[in-house]
A and B are shown apart, each in its own frame.
Chain A
Amino acid sequence: MKALMRHRLFWPIVALLALVAVNTIARPQFIKITLRDGQLYGALIDIMRNCAPLMLVALGMTIVIATRGIDLSVGAVMAVSGAVALTIIDGSSDPNNLGTVLVAIVVAIFAALILGTFNGVLVARLGIQPIVATLVLMLAGRGVALLITGGFITTVNSDPFSYLATGYLVGVPFAFIIALIAIVLLALFERRTALGMLTESVGINPEASRLAGVRSRGIIFSAYMLSGLLAGVAGLIYSANIRAADANSAGLFIELYAILAVVLGGTSLMGGKFSIAGTVIGVLIIETLDSTILFLGVSSAQSPVFFALVVVLVVIVQSPRLRTFRRRRRADVVPPPVSTPEKVEAGA
């Protein structure tokens, strides 16, 4: 039991289960999943479908954060990829043609990859702080998206494209399947090859891993490319869902929610050890909380207050100060000898 409690995913899972339990007690139909016309329906299925863009973005963010970085530009990349795809579909003679949609998707993802590469160059080649480097694209990206759509909100009616967000495959929302594929592929690449370990080593000590022969630049570079790629796919799902490319509101604040999901999942923003499963749980917590807040009748505009409280709670629980305090109470001895001057000062 103690070993179980000490597992780093213990508290995130408890939080998720508690949220589900509260919802189920408040409205029993929350947990119910019904099968209609070969498609699954229910509040949980809605959460699965709606979480797809955030899930993709948060997965990319996890790898970037593991390298001690951060990617603020994901929301802007989403806006660009949606704008590119819808402009191509809108400009074609037959928006319902599967070929057109495929071309649009490929070009949009390619555009997102270019943006990811741009971030990678700034961080890995030029050695600029990740926050600053990705801030450039966060500012400029939405401008680019607005230019692509000509300043309008491009709307299209394309059934193959909408399928990305609203379609079902063997009864499961297609968007969730995309997210699932991304999770599985990422887990395989990071955990069944040495890539994950190398990524963690770069995050823990870039200089030492470079001396040990790890090609840290390449690993950091590819992390930003991956983040751009996943944000591009997320942008496609988002724009397919609303059937429009809205350069101003597509992916607005998603970088913040993605970072929150990563932190909720137990990955430290200081880089190093990361947990893909933790991020998945973090995303599910956020989406469930969001649905709970909506159910409570709180305007969605006011929901940030709840998220702020969650952030504060989580960071305080994770903070070293509280941990030493707990350890001191448990062991009832003087705290470990790692007391830095910082703590002395803070305690004074």
Chain B
Amino acid sequence: MQLILILAGITLIVVLGETVLWTLFRRQAAPLCFEAEADMCSPRRLNMRALGLFALGHGGTLLVISWVYLILLW
């Protein structure tokens, strides 16, 4: 039970952290994207879709590492 609560807490921290950072970044980056639609800029500019996938992958990896780490060592 304790482990489940800890895992839920870690998941919340990671998801919230990634979401807040991504939202703030997206808000700040939109005018720098140099395109009317900020979703898909050319690769040499800010490729928001690729960056979004990177953030998603980063969060996912952190979650998997945290879960495996805690389940194995708890």
A binds B: no
